[in-house]
Structure 1
Amino acid sequence: MTHFSDTMILLLAVLLLIGVFSTKFSSRFGMPSLVLFIAAGMVLNQFVYYDNIKLTQLAGIFALVIILFEGGMQTSFREIRPIIRPALSLATVGVIVSTVIVGFFARLVLDVPWADSLLFGAIVGSTDAAAVFAVLGGKNIDKRLTSTLEAESGSNDPMAVFLTVTLIEWIQHPDTAIWMLILLFIWEMGMGLVTGLVVGKGAVWLINRINLDSTGLYPVLAVGAAVLTYGLAAMFHSSGLLAVYVAGLVLGNSEVVYHRTIMNFNHGFAWMMQIAMFMLLGLLVFPQDLADIAWQGLLLSLILMVVARPAGVFLSLLFAKFNVREKTLIAWSGLRGAVPIVLATYPLMANLPHGRMFFNVVFFVVLTSAVIQGTTISALAFRLKLVGKEGEAPSLMELVALGRTSSEFNHVVIQPHMPIAGLQIAEMELPEDILFTAIIRGDRIVTPLGGTVIEPGDVLYVLSPKSKREEMRALFRAEKGRSAAGGQLPLQASPLGSVQTLGEENENLKKL
């Protein structure tokens, strides 16, 4: 490898790690992590010159495919069914109202033609689900509100994309008939919905019937189905993002083998794509460029937050069963994120006269929205009395999976040479705070009691403090920590966030 390649790989590794650790920092201050990802990219562009807009747009669209697919898989039909109408109204009427209002003020503030100002309004029209739930996560807020915000964020992206692409087409070809644009909208949304349903159902059928050599290939198959969904939808000139979200909904709400494995892989992959996408987008912006449009960006951001978004929410929810306090929280929770910045690359690619200015202003709007709204949503929810004083107690799985406890789960396959093989639990000298929680024996689960004998072949689950990891390992360790065959003991940390079904567990044990 060349020195340049080695340096870039090292730099990418550092940035990825910074992105991961920054999520912990951002959650403490209630600020969406995208702010820190973008900041890392902006710092990097002081040392590395990067202006490949085409590559950035491609990476951004691919990241959105993964993020929306993962969001669809995480969404429950049962939870969004009661609020599907208000969510769709927010995603359509709300986006249009916001686009028109922001476009009106952009015409005055940016001094651009009407078509261009409406284009700017469309670009900042969609909200960011990941940013919203990074801030609201763990708060005891009415599930109806969080479900509405989740469904809106997943379904308003296609609307913003359609308006952006349509307005660019209109700017380039002003003689385009309005009725053609209406028919195009109906086709894009309708065909996108059908494509998502068909490919989603096909992916469920394929995953349940194909026998792959490794369980790790099933998540890859699911991601491949997501990318295929977008590609097919784009080929039919329909909404690829809507199709991907629908495919994710179908897959996430269906009975599929290795469901947990697929979900966990997609969740981690979506995070990685978010980090990469925001850092790439940060590379395209220079701090001095933001300083040049600071007052315009701040003014338009405030108009979006306190005028356009609330107007869109209250008008689109006019007949919905939400009170004023709930509508106020929904309005203030409209954080901007990935989609507006990716859409801001479209005018650049189309070589529009105001493309670079739009990109910088949109960037400023997203940053200020994330910082101002992101750090105040929780406080507003408390002020509006929409957060319970004592939320529902988190489950043991949530505590361990989210890193809110100092304990961890491990599972180990009991081998004949292990010291505890053949002993009753009561006969063992278990260190304090180390607990046997379950035993999988064949095709059944055995409750560990004092008289239970640990047999070779059992899969034993152990809950223990992280500080006593070595003491826990010593229970299963043969001489010098090696098995009779000379290999390491098949002990594996298993955070509850990645607990697998019995079928998945047995499949993985074959590899240990």
Structure 2
Amino acid sequence: MENALILFGLLFLFSVMFSKISDKYGVPALLMFLAVGMLAGSDGIVGLEFDNSQIAANVGTIALIYILFAGGFNTSFKEVKPVFKPGLVLATLGVVVSAGITGLFAYYVMRLPVLESFLFGAIISSTDAAAVFSVLRSNATKLKNNLAPLLEFESGSNDPMAIFLTMTILGLIGIGVLPDYFTLFSNLALEFILGGVMGYGFGVIIPSLINRIKLSHWGLYPVLLLALVAVLFGVTEKIGGNGYIAVYMAGIFANKKEFIYKKNLVGFFDGVGWMMQIFIFLTLGLLVFPSELPEVALYSFIMAVVVMFIARPISVFISLIFSRYSKKEKFFISWVGLRGVVPIILATYPLSAPGVQNSQLIFNTIFFMVLISVLSQGTTLKKGARYFGVVELGSNDPISLSHIPISYNHLKQFTIGKNSKIIGKNLTELELPDDFLILLAKRGNEYIKAGGSFEFEENDLLLILCDNEIRYQKVLEIYQF
């Protein structure tokens, strides 16, 4: 046990320290995590034996649940709303087009059977949330025209289509019978609808529940949220919906409202997201045998070129044909189609599925393609953004507050009376407008910073910033101060 804990800790420690290389030289951190896993595996320096694809798939599923929730939880709903339609088209039609084109090339280049060729295309068809979140959010460059939210939303919502296509083709290979297409598309629509509805419902409930439950210790709030995400995924899958869409949407809608400890919880789940990324990439690095990769190097390189320069651009241009994005922006969107953890997880499914003759070839090729994608596309994102002219001008300038006029006329003092309706409530429960800020509270001789968990009491003297006298009076009346 002691040796296992030391080894486990060292693997995570090396992964974290290697992320410094990522920051310095622009190599995506996920590639560092994979490298650590490969070095620790059976063909590496440590020589750990691990070849259980089922465990790897299960670990990947759990990790992806929290990666997607963390990604949604750290995403502003205001940013996602304008890109919802194009993002959804990319996440559905884009995946199908990309899978079809890639499958066609796999049939002629790799000489795989027809169904296995399109299985290959389905597995590699989705962009990866972990990779895209990691690369975009570790990059200081701000993109024009809501491109970053579009790419993040697409990567967070296109996994269900890839999973659906993969499982459908695996079923066809196993039973050798053509599906009932009406049932097939009905099930797909049901998965998306139920996943979206469940995600929206939980996303609305989470802030209200956190505000009202009033736990005795702050440390219990992250535990509560971890449990709710697990329940959401399980229940959604149980009723026939897509759990991945549900947890991602729940994160987005939960972020929409204010609640106590929000900043702390968002920070906590950012850490959970990184931990899960390290965990799954280490696991997948252990699963692969690097000595087998040279055999598929040529196939992997050719198919990676097909995906990056043919399948992905065609799928983007078809999906966004009626959108407002320019040709250069579409080319940039095409280039940020990073592949990552999801294709590798899906590539483990054929290893334990009946009837897939080339399962090991598919897994090794997909793994190598992911390495090529993350290394080539992830390291050139900044250059690509500048080349295609999608960098927001002045995005790296320091923020200046000198232009914001604040006078003493904007500051108000208000004392809470004994009949006030807000007594006993906390600040986040009120959901005050953005231009009505409670800066400070005086309670007796004590001055208290009015954070989200601050509860109002009788005789509290509030210092309020509001530059609109009509709005100030209206808010006092509506919220019955």
* TM-score by shorter chain over 0.5: yes
Distance 1:221 1:122, change over 3 A: same
1:501 aligns with 2:451: yes
- Give 1:343 shift: 1.1
1:91 aligns with 2:91: yes
- Give 1:503 shift: 2.7
Q: After superposition, give the CA deviation of every residue in 1:13-62 in whole Å (9 maximum; x if it has no partner).
A: 11111111222211322222111101111110131101122221111101
Moved more, 134-143 or 96-105: 134-143
Cα distance in 2 for partners of 1:252, 1:97 equals 32
> Secondary structure at the residue paired with 1:386?
coil
Alignment of 1:371-382 (within 5 A): 371-382=375-386
CA contact (8 A) 2:142 2:391 kept: yes
- Give 1:505 shift: 12
CA contact (8 A) 1:71 1:245 kept: yes
1:31 aligns with 2:31: no
Amino acid across the alignment from 1:109: V
**Equivalence for 1:472:** none
**Equivalence for 2:168:** 166
**Equivalence for 1:119:** 119
Alignment of 1:39-50 (within 5 A): 39-45=35-41, 46=44, 47-50=47-50
**Equivalence for 1:325:** 328
Cα distance in 2 for partners of 1:505, 1:69 equals 29
Cα distance in 2 for partners of 1:164, 1:129 equals 18
- Higher relative CO (Cα under 8 Å, sequence separation at least 6) belongs to 2
Cα distance in 2 for partners of 1:65, 1:159 equals 16
State the identity %: 40
Cα distance in 1 for partners of 2:316, 2:13 equals 38
- Give 1:68 shift: 0.4
> Secondary structure at the residue paired with 1:373?
helix
Cα distance in 1 for partners of 2:442, 2:371 equals 52
Q: After superposition, give the CA deviation of every residue in 1:339-398 in whole Å (9 maximum; x if it has no partner).
A: 1111111112324322222111110110000111112221121122222453253559xx
1:198 aligns with 2:193: no
CA contact (8 A) 1:67 1:270 kept: yes
> Secondary structure at the residue paired with 2:146?
helix
Q: After superposition, give the CA deviation of every residue in 1:418-465 in whole Å (9 maximum; x if it has no partner).
A: xxxxxxxxxxxxxxxxxxxxxx998359xxxxxxxxx997789xxxxx
1:215 aligns with 2:165: no
**Equivalence for 1:275:** 278
CA contact (8 A) 2:106 2:121 kept: yes
Structure 2: runs of 5 or more not aligned: 401-437, 457-481
Pick from 382, 395, 414: which aligns with 1:391? 395
**Equivalence for 1:182:** 185
Moved more, 71-80 or 308-317: 71-80
1:359 aligns with 2:359: no
Cα distance in 2 for partners of 1:458, 1:315 equals 59
Distance 1:275 1:179, change over 3 A: same
Cα distance in 1 for partners of 2:174, 2:385 equals 44
Cα distance in 2 for partners of 1:114, 1:42 equals 32
Pick from 249, 273, 291: which aligns with 1:246? 249
> Secondary structure at the residue paired with 1:293?
helix
> Secondary structure at the residue paired with 1:60?
helix
CA contact (8 A) 1:123 1:164 kept: yes
> Secondary structure at the residue paired with 1:443?
strand
- TM-score of the superposition, structure 1-length normalised? 0.76
Q: After superposition, give the CA deviation of every residue in 1:198-253 in whole Å (9 maximum; x if it has no partner).
A: 33333333222212121111111111111111101111132110111111122111
**Equivalence for 1:262:** 265
**Equivalence for 2:300:** 297
Distance 1:122 1:225, change over 3 A: same
Q: After superposition, give the CA deviation of every residue in 1:67-125 in whole Å (9 maximum; x if it has no partner).
A: 00011111222111111111111111111110000000111222222111111111111
Alignment of 1:357-506 (within 5 A): 357-388=361-392, 390-394=394-398, 443=441, 501=451, 503=453
Moved more, 119-128 or 352-361: 352-361
* Superposition CA RMSD, Å: 2.5
CA contact (8 A) 1:123 1:343 kept: yes
Amino acid across the alignment from 1:31: V
> Secondary structure at the residue paired with 1:51?
coil
Cα distance in 1 for partners of 2:388, 2:195 equals 38
Amino acid across the alignment from 1:141: L
Cα distance in 1 for partners of 2:89, 2:398 equals 32
